[in-house]
Amino acid sequence: MDLDLDERTTAFRDEVRAWLAENVPKRPLASFDTAEGFEQHRRWEAKLADARLSVVSWPREYGGRDASLLEWVLFEEEYYAAGAPGRVGQNGIFMLAPTLFSHGTPEQRKRILPAMARGEQVWAQAWSEPEAGSDIAALRSTATRTDGGWLLSGQKVWSSRATYADRAFGLFRSDQDSERHRGLTYVMFDLRADGVRVRPIPQLDGEPGFAEIFLDEVFVPDADVIGEPGEGWRVAMTTANNERGLSLRSPGRFLAAADRLVRLWRETHGDTETALAARVADAWIQARAYQLYTFGTVTRLAEGGELGPESSVNKLFWSHLDVGLHETALELLGPDAELSGKTGWPEGWLFSLAGPIYGGTDQIQRNVVAERLLGLPRGQR
């Protein structure tokens, strides 16, 4: 990839930078794990959409602007550098939408994507179950055939955004005689439909960032099945690869955090030499390395490649980079770190600890790397 930006790309980056400088809220929005914050973030999504900046890489007919993958990466860098709000629509935009582009019907894309782009429909991810977390193939929730559609029953858990979201997507076992990854169907459903009960799960801070979803013969039409019934595992791998790979965790997030870490070093230590200096430098270097790796991924995708199991390498790298960045920041802050809530570092550290778990644990990612990339023997399960 030629890293010298052409005239079009430079103009796009400058436009994004100028818009963000003028429109990013001067005061942080409330957490989207609260009812008030959720609505604030929904309005922010609409504002981004008005400027055609909520989904820049999508086709124009769905609210995007046909930006290239490189332009999307640059948009993300500018977005995080500007300190713009977190994306309440990220489950839909970064996981469900790529799945619809790959496996959805034209009717589904036309019906779902524009509302998603504007934050009018916010989506929850409903994959995990009480005995099927990282081992999602062990799920027990069912989809039973009925006239014109399916009846969903079962329980989902750890569903992010489900407390306030509008709709959810998940896998259900549609062939009761099947096992593991066979006989699954990928379904979208309304969180306010008859038979759906959402029970919030308070986090350590007391806010309901997750929820359980109980389903009792919830009807969904055939139009809300993505891909062929029984072929849900293949569809789900598209979602998983985007969650672990480029889409959900672009380098802009870590570049901005690494730059903040360098500024924190200067504020707290100045010219003092300590062993922490090497860790600050190492975090900064890793963030730049991830940026360069991403440019390689963009090149591969532009040439017709796919994310594939390489996404697991990506996931392992960025999840541990995030933990290391925040642990170093807390050590720079010293004994007062836990009281420095206004800096955002303690909250960021708590969230980073979930990185090696959500989207598939480290153990799952290492199994994928060992078996599917390196060709090593299948380990014990």
CA nearest neighbour of 350 among 164, 159, 207: 207
Contact 20, 80 (CB under 8 A): no
CA 140: distance to chain centroid? 24
Quick one: CA dihedral 109, 104, 213, 34, positive or negative? negative
Structure tokens at 124: 């929850």
CA nearest neighbour of 283 among 269, 265, 295, 310: 265
Which three-class secondary structure string do you get for 183-215? CEEEEEEECCCCCEEEEEECCCCCCCCEEEEEE
Contact 111, 143 (CB under 8 A): no
Active site residues: 243
Question: Pairing between strand 123-125 and 167-173?
Answer: parallel
Residue count of the chain, please give it: 381
DSSP H helix total and E strand total for the chain: 12, 8
Counting Cβ atoms within 10 Å, is residue 192 exposed (0-12), middle (13-18) or buried (19+)?
exposed
CA 221: distance to chain centroid? 27
